[in-house]
């Protein structure tokens, strides 16, 4: 049966004029080209948490690790207010950030230098690089014990920032007003992924002890919730790669397709005139 249809098709095709044959192949190529360019993402490539389990999952407490080049706000509160003053910046110089911002953070604070040290009033150098915030608080309290009775120490990272790049609505570098931000938080701050962003290929770049680490996340699977980079650290970079449709559209530019069709139309018109 298929052989008969094939013979009939070839016979009919042979009876067609050259211009008709050319027009036939032009329409056919155009059809498949448009199908390829308009390939849509299925829900499997767009929906988050497709295999999310039912019930509740335990969330572990996260505390950022202090690193070199961190700018710290350190506030010391003691029972004797006058005795506490030498260990604090004047009140007028204390600054705060009320929301997620882009740009440079306030430059008033204690900078952890290349040796991992801060220069603290009266006490001098204190090594904080590699400590958690709570460990740093305990260490400073210990150093203050000869001067203050049961002081309270509050530490905050002033230049805690993450960068979100790629296929998101508002890419950029964002200063975070708290010390706990997840990959989902960062993507939300950047306006969420565009439809052209690959949910299965989100890259997190992190510097750890002088080495660059790369972690790839699949947002369509709930497994990324247990990733070591689910909670971001200061200076992390999140990159959302373009999906296959976006990559294909970059290979075949729409304006170039228009030029190709225009050229084919001119050729076809010339053939018709010559005929």
Contact 213, 205 (CB under 8 A): yes
Average pLDDT over residues 103-116: 77
Q: Above 70 in pLDDT, residue 190? A: yes
Half-sphere exposure of 92 (CA within 13 A, CB side): 0
Cα gap 207→192, rounded to integer Å: 24
How many C-beta atoms surround the C-beta of residue 74 within 10 A?
Answer: 21
SS3 243: coil
For residue 146, is pLDDT > 60?
yes
Between 35 and 88, the more confident residue is: 88
What is the spatial distance between Cα 180 and Cα 231, in angstroms, rounded to a whole number?
A: 7
Mean pLDDT of 95-108: 56
- Band of pLDDT at residue 94, cut at 50, 70 and 90: very low
Task: Give residue 24's Cα distance to chain centre.
Answer: 47
State the number of CA atoms in the 13 A half-sphere of 220 facing the CB: 11
Q: Closest Cα to residue 114, out of 128, 103, 134, 133?
A: 128
Place of tokens 């070199």: 68
Hey, what are 266's tokens?
Answer: 């001119």
pLDDT band at residue 90, thresholds of 50, 70 and 90? confident
Interior angle at CA 238, CA 235 and CA 240, nearest 5: 165
- Pairwise CA distance, residues 103 & 106, whole Å: 10
Query: CA-to-CA distance for 95 and 64, rounded, in angstroms?
Result: 21
Mean pLDDT check: name the lowest of 105-119, 220-234, 241-255: 241-255
Pick from 179, 187, 180: nearest CA to 219? 187
Return the pLDDT at 93: 43
Q: State the pTM of this model.
A: 0.68
Per-residue pLDDT band at 222 (split at 50, 70, 90): confident
C-alpha–C-alpha distance, residues 104 and 119, integer Å: 22
- Measured CA angle at 25 (ends 23, 29), to 5 deg: 120
């Amino acid at each position: 049966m298929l052989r008969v249809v094939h013979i009939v098709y070839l016979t009919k095709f042979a009876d067609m004029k050259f211009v008709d044959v050319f027009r036939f192949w032009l329409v056919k190529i155009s059809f498949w080209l448009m199908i390829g360019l308009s390939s849509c993402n299925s829900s499997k490539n767009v929906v988050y948490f497709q295999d999310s389990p039912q019930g509740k999952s335990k969330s572990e407490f996260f505390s950022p690790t202090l690193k070199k080049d961190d700018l710290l706000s350190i506030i010391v509160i003691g029972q004797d207010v006058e005795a506490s003053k030498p260990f604090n910046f004047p009140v007028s110089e204390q600054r705060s950030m009320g929301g997620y911002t882009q740009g440079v953070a306030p430059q008033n604070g204690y900078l952890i230098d290349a040796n991992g040290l801060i220069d603290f009033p009266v006490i001098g150098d204190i090594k904080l690089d590699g400590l958690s915030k709570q460990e740093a608080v305990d260490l400073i309290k210990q150093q203050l014990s000869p001067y203050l009775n049961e002081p309270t120490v509050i530490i905050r990272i002033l230049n805690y920032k993450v960068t979100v790049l790629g296929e998101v609505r508002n890419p950029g570098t964002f200063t975070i007003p708290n010390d706990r931000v997840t990959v989902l938080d960062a993507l939300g701050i950047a306006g969420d992924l565009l439809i052209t962003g690959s949910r299965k290929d989100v890259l997190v770049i992190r510097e750890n002890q002088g080495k660059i680490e790369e972690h790839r996340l699949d947002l369509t699977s709930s497994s990324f919730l247990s990733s070591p980079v689910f909670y971001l650290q200061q200076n992390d970079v999140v990159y959302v790669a373009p999906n296959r449709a976006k990559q294909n559209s970059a290979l075949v530019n729409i304006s170039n397709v228009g030029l190709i069709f225009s050229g084919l139309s001119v050729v076809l018109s010339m053939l018709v005139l010559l005929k």
